[in-house]
Chains A and B, each alone.
Chain A
Amino acid sequence: MSATRRMGLGALALGLLAPFVGEPRRAVSGALDFDAIARAIDDGADHVSARQLASWIRARKPGLRVLDVRDAKAFAEDAIPTAENLTIDRLVGAVFKPGETVVLYSQEGAHAGQAWVLLKALGVADAVFVPGGLADWWEEVMSPVLPADMPVAERETAADLSRYFGGFPQVGLVVSGGAPAPAPTPYRRRGC
């Protein structure tokens, strides 16, 4: 029997056996890696601040993919630039290319956090979420209150980033008497 025929018969055998052995296991990453997830949550590798995300978007970080897990109506009203709308139920069937950094956000962060665990269970390695969600985006990027005692260079960078996205950075002004102006009260308690 020629080598060619033997290869062909081998392939046929493997192919015909395939229907009877079940599905390939997705288990290796399909199973939750509890330790890795706990470690990521512990050391903060699970999330990214709204301001950091803004600088990634501006720098066109390669492979960045921003996902809005809210419903289509909320997404249509207001969303982070470059984001795509992918509700949690559609997340399961989504495809993530190797090398993609997936950033999840929701209105206030809880749903994005849950979606993050889901992605980890699906084996997406490089995923993070914005803890305060869209609310954080507004507070940290679109209308940040930059304390007057912040180093000037740092303050300028933050203000510049805000203006890039059409935001209105406010600097806690120092009035003539030397006492800092009362900072506008944030409209939401800062979480996380």
Chain B
Amino acid sequence: MPRPYVDPYLSGVSLGLVLLGCFALSGQGLGASGAFANLASHAAGAFTKNAWIDGYLSRGWASWTVVEVCGLIVGAGLSAWLAGRLSVARPPAPRGRLLAATAGGVLMGVGAALARGCTSGLALSGGALLSVGAWVFMLALFAAGFLAAPLLRRLWA
């Protein structure tokens, strides 16, 4: 039996403290999409060069967010393993959901690139520092999510 998930409020406060520590130690917030943008830029940089791609190429492969996201994967894997969630026999995700996940990933990639951040880097980290753009992004994100949800009911039934 896997362990139950931790209370969401307690998780939230811990996440807030991790974010605070991150600010104090590195001067910037937690991020995730930056790592994807960096790796995608290095791939796209093989075909073309422009200001957006160059901005990431100049930082090199192992940018701050890439290292941080590698840590994220290790930490999440460790936590899942110790909580007995890796060994749970799960039915594989249905094909429709995998396709939807890929499409959702593409949309989130485009959205995060336009907005210069995602739920962690922009909405949470920027929101905690009261950045106007972060709050606009967060409200738009939830508005679109709640509006689109009824159309996708079958996916999550």
Question: Which residues of A line the B interface, CB within 8 A?
Answer: 3-4, 7-8, 60, 62-63, 97-99
Closest beta carbon of chain B to A6's beta carbon, Å? 10
Interface contact B64-A99, CB-CB below 8 Å: yes
Closest beta carbon of chain B to A19's beta carbon, Å? 14
Alpha-carbon gap, A98 to B28, bound state (A): 7
Residue total for B at the interface (Cβ-Cβ under 8 A): 11
Interface contact A4-B64, CB-CB below 8 Å: no
Alpha-carbon gap, A98 to B27, bound state (A): 6
CB neighbours of A4 from chain B (8 A): 7, 9
Partner of A60 from B13, B26, B58 at Cβ < 8 Å: B58
Residue of A nearest to B63 (CB): A62
Check A62/B27 contact, CB under 8 A, given A4-B7, A4-B9, A7-B13. Answer: no
CB neighbours of B13 from chain A (8 A): 7
Main secondary structure of the interface of B (DSSP, over half): loop
CB neighbours of B90 from chain A (8 A): none
Interface contact A98-B26, CB-CB below 8 Å: yes
Interface contact B58-A62, CB-CB below 8 Å: yes
CB neighbours of B59 from chain A (8 A): 62-63
Residue of A nearest to B60 (CB): A62
Main secondary structure of the interface of A (DSSP, over half): loop
Interface residues of B in 97-119 (CB under 8 A from A): none
CB neighbours of A7 from chain B (8 A): 9, 13
11 extra interchain contacts, Cβ-Cβ under 8 A, other than A4-B9, A7-B9? A4-B7, A7-B13, A8-B9, A60-B58, A62-B59, A62-B60, A63-B59, A97-B27, A98-B26, A98-B28, A99-B64
Interface contact A97-B28, CB-CB below 8 Å: yes
**B 23-37 binary contact with A (CB < 8 Å = 1; else 0):** 000111000000000
Alpha-carbon gap, A98 to B65, bound state (A): 13
Closest beta carbon of chain A to B67's beta carbon, Å? 13
Closest beta carbon of chain A to B83's beta carbon, Å? 21
Alpha-carbon gap, A88 to B40, bound state (A): 36
CB neighbours of B28 from chain A (8 A): 97-98
Alpha-carbon gap, A8 to B8, bound state (A): 13
CB neighbours of A8 from chain B (8 A): 9
Alpha-carbon gap, A62 to B27, bound state (A): 17
Alpha-carbon gap, A4 to B8, bound state (A): 10
Closest beta carbon of chain B to A18's beta carbon, Å? 12
CB neighbours of B60 from chain A (8 A): 62
A-B contact pairs, 13 of them (CB 8 A): A4-B7, A4-B9, A7-B9, A7-B13, A8-B9, A60-B58, A62-B58, A62-B59, A63-B59, A97-B28, A98-B26, A98-B27, A98-B28
Interface residues of B in 49-64 (CB under 8 A from A): 58-60, 64
Alpha-carbon gap, A128 to B59, bound state (A): 20
Report which residue of A7, A63, A97 has the largest number of chain B beta carbons within 10 angstroms of its beta carbon.
A7
